[in-house]
């Protein structure tokens, strides 16, 4: 089975071809740097993504604060992670790097703030 991918590790966007025999990689072609080969290997064997979104802020100057998963999560957990993020709310103030959701959706990965959210002035 042949799988075709576009590498997302750099702006070159190499078109990768992965020749598979069941779950085993037979050959990878089309990459121009080692990162492309690594990306293809990971994408066909254990695809992951960093999730980005916003979390509701209670008592803040803004209604939501930007956040992301601290590191890659399994691609098949994205919907569960987004459901947890959408259900969450945090109390202002929020600082960059603050853990907003620990071990989101049982992934072992935390969701952290990527922006500040100050308290609403009285």
What's this model's pTM, rounded to 2 decimal places? 0.82
Q: Which domain holds residue 67?
A: 52-113
CATH number of the domain bearing residue 78: 3.10.530.10
Residue indicated by tokens 């991918």 = 5
Q: Are residues 73 and 94 in the same domain?
A: yes
Report the alpha-carbon distance of residue 65 to residue 27 in Å, rounded.
43
Asked if residue 96 belongs to a domain, the reply is yes
- pLDDT bin (cut points 50, 70, 90) of residue 121 is confident
Looking at residue 90, its pLDDT comes to 98
Q: Are residues 105 and 69 in the same domain?
A: yes
Q: Are residues 102 and 88 in the same domain?
A: yes
Q: Are 113 and 100 in contact (CB under 8 A)?
A: yes
β-strand partners of 54: 66
How many domains does one find in the chain? 2
Q: Are residues 7 and 32 in the same domain?
A: yes
Q: Which DSSP string corresponds to 45-91?
A: HS-EE--EEEEEEESBSSSEEEEEESS-EEGGGHHHHHHHHHH-EEE
């Amino acid at each position: 089975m042949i799988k075709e991918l576009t590498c997302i590790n750099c702006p070159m966007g190499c078109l990768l071809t992965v020749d598979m025999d069941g779950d085993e990689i037979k050959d990878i072609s089309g990459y121009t740097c080692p990162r492309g080969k690594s990306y293809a290997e990971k994408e066909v064997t254990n695809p992951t993504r960093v999730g980005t979104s916003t979390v509701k802020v209670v008592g803040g100057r803004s209604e939501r604060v930007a956040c992301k998963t601290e590191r890659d999560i399994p691609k098949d957990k994205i919907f569960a992670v987004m459901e947890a993020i959408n259900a969450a709310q945090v109390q202002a103030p929020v600082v960059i790097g603050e853990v907003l959701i620990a071990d989101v959706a049982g992934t072992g990965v935390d969701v952290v703030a990527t922006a500040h959210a100050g308290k609403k002035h009285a």
